[in-house]
Amino acid sequence: DLASAHHTSLDSLFNGTDFNGASLASLGAATSTLRDNGIDEVELNVGNNDAAHTVHLSDDNAHALLDAGLSFVEGNHVTVDAHSTHLNNSLKDLEKLHVDAV
């Protein structure tokens, strides 16, 4: 349960091609099926509704979540940590993910 865990970094939940024990490919297939049936958005709730509890995510892992068709609940505070001047995601893509800061 991401909301009750109050992680400060979501990167620890990634393990190769898995996120929190679930295959990213399977999550992508599931979100695609949902989209085909009229559910436009699947959101992750990390349970931090104030800026004092911002969670961090690497640019690569943000890209993996976007590819799987996932985003964060808009009220969550999520920061993507960029470790170079080149991002794998456009700012528009990060906006879709509901990222608050880079």
Q: What is the pLDDT of residues 24-43, one digit of tens each?
A: 888 889 999 999 999 988 88
List pLDDT tens digits, range 72-101. 888 888 888 887 777 877 888 888 887 877
Q: Token pair 């709730």 is at which residue?
A: 45
Phi first, then psi: give them for residue 75, nearest 5 degrees. Answer: -75, -10
Question: Contact, 70 vs 27, CB < 8 A?
Answer: yes
Neighbours of 15 (CB within 10 A): 9
Regarding beta strands 18-19 and 14-15, do their DSSP bridges make them parallel or antiparallel, or are they unpaired? antiparallel
pLDDT at site 34 = 93
pLDDT at site 36 = 93
pLDDT at site 89 = 79
Looking at residues 46-66, what average pLDDT do you find? 81
**80 has which bridge partners?**
57
Looking from the CA of 37 toward its CB, the CA atoms found within 13 Å total 7
